[in-house]
Amino acid sequence: MNTAGQPPSPAPSSPPSAAPPRAKLRQPRFQLVWLIPLLAAAIAGYLGYRTFMEQGPLLTLTFNSADGLQTGQTQLKYKAVALGTVESIDLSPDSSHVVVRVRMTEVGARFLTSHARFWVERPRFDLSDTAGIETIVSGPYIAVDPGAPGGNYQSGFTGLEQPPGVRSDEPGRTYTLIAADIGALKSGSPVFYRGAVAGEVLGYDFGGGLGPVKVSIFVSAPFDDLVRPDSRFWDTSGVALGVEGGVLQVQVQSLQAVLAGGVSFALPDSAQNEAASPSGTSFPLYASKEAADAAAYRTQVPFIAYFNSDVSGLTQGAPVTMLGLQVGNVTDVALQVDSATGTARVCVTMAVQPGRVLGAAQNATAGDVQAAAQRLVDHGLRAELGTESYVTGQKQIDLAFLPNAPAAQVTREGSALVLPAQDSGLDIIMANASDISTKLDKVPFQQIGEDLDKLLRTANGTVGGPQVKDTLTQLDQTLSTLNQNYGTDSDTQHQLSQVLSEAQATLQALSALTTELNAHPQSLIFGRSGQ
């Protein structure tokens, strides 16, 4: 405490303050969690590098439609193994088709050769081809056939719109059938051998539309070994109707052949020792089995027959039959008009096997064949128009023997023999019916009816007239008088009865006398006593 008059004492000095603490920076410690993004980045980089290094080339396909295809999902497969995935689907610059790009795998790159074929496998509801049914559940995919080994590298293809009929890994051979028309055949139609499916139709070529149709078929192994130079092919499409033994016969190869068409072939016994035909060999395609069987007779003779009647339904290729068996075919049907006389007729040219018809040998001369034909004509052989099918109206030529046929000669026009022709039985019936109809048209039925009506009116007036009534009255009176005079109770009737009784007694006496004279004729001289 300060006292008065004393100076204030100085304040005590504070102790010196300590220096503030200096901050120390600690070194950051490594955290393991930082490895996660680093590891993820490394893995991503590795996967990207591996994907880039392992991904195959880009395949470009063009199709008419991209129906069922999806980017990033649709795969390209071979034998159920994925070889690539659709990467993009675009339209072509002119919008006429679609462009599908497929990223192939490293394994799929080996399929990119000029021999490969690609198509979209979709479900197909066809009895001739049931492949692709599994895609109903799994969805469409792009299929590939690698083709034969070799070929050049190629990354752009035009895809097939339908699966190929023959795959490169399927053993067999391809052949060509020559036909007049395609009929019901189409790509995928089956080929049969003795009822078993032995192959299929690959396609056909019209050759510009002027020549025959070339049908390409594939016959799988081991059936291809049965295709030999003498093998015969025929069309088995649809249903064949015929009459045999008075019974309607229906022939069907199979339901598949009815709906999709079909071809059958057979190997004759004479070809058992022949070698198999090489791939690419051509064979004729016959319209029926009968025509194919007839082809076994290689020697054929041209015949001509002229018809003056309607030949509707008779076409080239129609059968020529004799006693129900096919012996040839119609090769041409032509109309001939004579401008000088104004008449017309139809010239039918046929190819007939002489071995079946004439009994001539394969090496028979033209004179021998004509002589054999003349002998048959002398016995009534005539060419007439018959019916092959009552359903379609198709006609055929029948070589028939006609009783009491007039004499005719077999002539020759060039290399062809001319057979006498005869209108068919149906034509004759129709002609007779037409003649009867013409005669009936000439009968004056209307005039006859008018005259008969007049006669009835006159008779009605005469019978109902007063003169007829008076005559009937007089007739009734006359009959009554006769009944009174000569009835059962009249004197005349009694007298007549008595006369008849006496006459009967006289006849009995004469009968007894006759009997006695027959027994004793001497009694006329000696009397009954005989003395």
Q: In the chain, where are the structural domains located?
A: 53-158, 172-294, 301-434
193 pLDDT band, cuts 50/70/90, is very high
pLDDT above 70 (res 385): yes
Cα gap 493→478, rounded to integer Å:
18
Nearest to 124 by CA among 74, 163, 87, 154: 163
Nearest to 288 by CA among 400, 179, 173, 399: 179
CA–centroid distance for 155 within its chain = 44
Per-residue pLDDT, averaged over 488-507, amounts to: 70
Q: Helices (H), strands (E): how many in the chain?
A: 11, 24
193: which strand partners? 196
Torsion sign over Cα 516, 521, 527, 531: negative
Token pair 């070799």 in the structure block, residue: 150
Specify whether the CB–CB gap between 439 and 447 falls below 8 A.
no
Q: Report residue 363 as tokens.
A: 């090496």
Distances (CA, A) of 416 to 84, 105, 291, 302, 378: 67, 70, 21, 5, 19
Nearest to 320 by CA among 340, 303, 345: 303
User: Tens digits of per-residue pLDDT, 278-329?
Assistant: 999 999 998 888 778 766 666 778 999 999 888 888 888 888 888 888 888 8
Contacts of 171 (CB under 8 A, 6+ apart): 220, 221, 224
Q: What confidence score (pLDDT) does residue 174 get?
A: 92
Per-residue pLDDT, averaged over 373-380, amounts to: 90
Cα gap 149→167, rounded to integer Å:
13
Q: Which of 8-22, 226-240, 278-292, 426-440 has the lowest mean pLDDT?
A: 8-22
User: Tens digits of per-residue pLDDT, 43-94?
Assistant: 888 777 776 666 688 999 999 999 889 999 999 999 889 999 999 999 999 9
CA–centroid distance for 271 within its chain = 29
User: Tens digits of per-residue pLDDT, 97-123?
Assistant: 999 999 998 888 889 999 999 999 887
Omega prior to 222 cis, within 30 of 0: yes
**Helix H or strand E segment including 128:** none
Among 149-158, 460-469, 516-525, which range has the highest average pLDDT? 149-158
pLDDT above 70 (res 462): no
Q: What confidence score (pLDDT) does residue 136 get?
A: 59
User: Tens digits of per-residue pLDDT, 440-457?
Assistant: 777 777 777 777 777 777
Among 12-16, 147-151, 209-213, 406-410, which range has the highest average pLDDT? 406-410
